[in-house]
Amino acid sequence: MDLGDILSKEQIVTDLRATTRWEAIDELIGNLVSTGKIKPEHQDAIAAVVKKRETSMSTGIGFGIGIPHASTDLIYEVVGALGRSRKGVNFDSLDNQPVNLVMLFLVPQGQFQKHLHTLANIAKLLHKAEFRSALEQSPDADAMLRIIRDQGKR
């Protein structure tokens, strides 16, 4: 499962308003509701699951990247939303640096291998400095999605 498979341009927030990881999670889950990827009545339950996972250990993995994620039985396919913050989000990251790219994703309950595989693919992609830089410099969601899909083919 590649990043380009789970994102559409509507699921890319080019200018996150969030200043904390909790706000970023809420904002990206709100995006998944508005794009029809999760049901409005499931929003609070899904946010709680992601925040519970985030409380156990920050998914701010360094290099300005946060990858909040969780498994839930309230979805039937892997879904995600990408947020970009120009000012940086306080994510309680491993390197104590603000996060500029937040990739939230959800995996259906019980799909452990898919969860690990998706997380590994996203982390590998976002660890590439030139890829992160290209996303951070992109003018809009269309350009960001093009960069993501081009990288997925390499």
| Residues constituting the chain | 154
Number of domains present in the structure of the chain:
1
- CATH code, domain carrying 45: 3.40.930.10
Cα distance between residue 30 and residue 24, in whole Å: 10
Q: What distance in Å separates the CA atoms of residue 77 and residue 99, rounded to the nearest whole number?
A: 27
Domain that holds residue 99: 3-152
Query: CB–CB of 3/102 below 8 Å?
Result: no
- 137: Cβ–Cβ under 8 A, 6 or more apart, which residues? none
Catalytic (active-site) positions = 69
**pLDDT (tens digit, 9 = 90+) per residue, 74-93?**
999 999 999 999 999 999 99
What confidence category does residue 1 fall into, taking pLDDT thresholds of 50, 70 and 90? low
- Indicate the pTM of the whole model: 0.94
pLDDT by residue (tens digit) across 35-76? 999 999 999 999 999 999 999 999 999 999 999 999 999 999
